[in-house]
Amino acid sequence: MYGGVSARPLVRRGALIATALAVIQCLGCDELYPEVIVINEIDDEVLVKDISYSGCLWDEVLAFGEASSPGRCLSGEDRVHFARLDAASYCREQVEDGTIPELCFCDPDDAPEADPLDTGLINETPQWFNYQTVTSYEAGAGDRLVVRLTLDDMEQDFSVPGPYGH
C-alpha cells in the first residue's frame, strides 16, 4: 500500500506491458539477426560466387573490390564459404586451347607450341573451386559483420556436401 492506494494494479500493468514488449520483441526476432557483408579482396583477377555464411547464401558474383548486399544471417560462428574463379587463368587456358580465336597472346613468346591439340581434353566450362576462410567469424544478435576475403585467409573447402539427396 502506498498513500492509501494499492500498488498491485501498477505492478500488474507493468508486468503486462513487459510481457507484451517481450512478445513483440520475439515476433520480430528475425530483425535481430546479425547483418553480414562480404567483400572480395582476394585478387583483381579473381571472381567469387556462392558466398555463404551461417545460413546466408548470396546469389551474386563479386569482382575484386565489390561487396555483397547485407545479409541477415543466424547468430553464431562460421567461416565464409565461397567458390572462386581465376578469370585471367581461365582466359589464358582458353586462348591456349584456341577456343577464343579472337584473342591471342600479347607476347608471342607466351604462346604455346603449335602442336595439334587433343580437343577431347579441352574444357570450356569455367572451373569454380570451393574455398573457405581460414578464420571463423562470430556474430551475435544485432551485430554488423564485414568480412574481407583475402588471399592470405582462404583455403580449399572440402566440407561441401555431395550433390545427392532424396
Partner 1 sequence: MGSKAASVTILAVALAISAPALGQDEGAPPEDAAADTPNDENAEVAAETPEDDESASMPEENTGEEEAPEEEPAPYTAVVVGRRPLARDQSADATDVDGETLRSSARASTLEAVAQEAPDLYVSGRGLGVHGVASGASGAMAVRGLSGSPNSQILVVEDGVPDYQGIFGHPLPDAYVPELIDEVRLIKGGDSVLYGTNALGGVLLIRSKVLRDDGIELTNDSSYGSFQTVRERLSLLVKRGDWDLSSAFSALRTDGHRDGTGGSNMVGHVGVGWTPTSGLRIVLRDRVAHLEGEDPGPVTHPNDGHWYDVWRNTTSLGLEYRQGPRFSLDAISFVNLGVHRLYDGFYSEDYLFGGRVAAYIRAHETLRLTLGLGAEGVTGEVEDRAAGEVTDVEGSATLYFFNQLEWRPLSWLRLIGGTRELWSSEHDFIFLYKAGLRLLLPGGLTVRLRVARNYREPTIRERYLPFPTANPDLRPEFSLNVDLGLVLFVGPVEVSVSGYRTWADDLIKYFGAWPSAEVVNIDHVEVFGIEAHLRVVDLGPVRLFLGGSWQDVGRYTRQNPAAKVNGSIEVGHRFGRHAISGSLSGEWVRGLFQENYSRDPIADVFFLDLALRYSYRLDAGVSFEPYLLLRNLTNNRYEYIRDYPMPGINALLGLRISYDPPPRRPDDGSGTN
Contact positions vs partner 1 (CB under 8 A): 19, 22-23, 26-30, 52, 54-57, 59, 73-76, 78-79, 81, 159-166
CB 155 within 8 A of CB 132: yes
Query: How many angstroms separate the first and last alpha carbons of the chain?
Result: 66
CB of 50 to partner 1, least distance (A): 8
Q: Is 64 helix (H, G, I), strand (E, B) or coil?
A: coil
Q: Whose Cβ is closer to partner 1: residue 3's or residue 163's?
A: 163
Give me the least distance between CB of 74 and partner 1, in Å please: 5
Q: Which residues lie closer than 8 Å to 91 by C-beta, 6 or more apart?
A: 100, 103
80 or 95: CB nearest partner 1: 80
Q: How far is the CB of 36 from partner 1 (least distance, A)?
A: 12
Is the CB of 72 or the CB of 144 nearer to partner 1? 72
Q: Rounded to the nearest whole angstrom, what is the least distance from the CB of residue 126 to partner 1 in the complex? A: 18
| CB closer to partner 1 out of 43 and 143 | 143
Q: What would the grid cell of residue 117 be?
A: 591439340
Nearer to partner 1, 56 or 95 (CB): 56
SS3 state at 152 = helix
How many CA atoms, within 13 angstroms, populate the side-chain half-sphere of residue 154? 22
| Nearest Cα residue to 128 out of 64, 80, 85, 163 | 85
Q: Report the distance separating Cα 61 and Cα 55, nearest Å.
A: 18
Q: To the nearest whole angstrom, how small is the minimum distance from the Cβ of residue 104 to partner 1?
A: 38
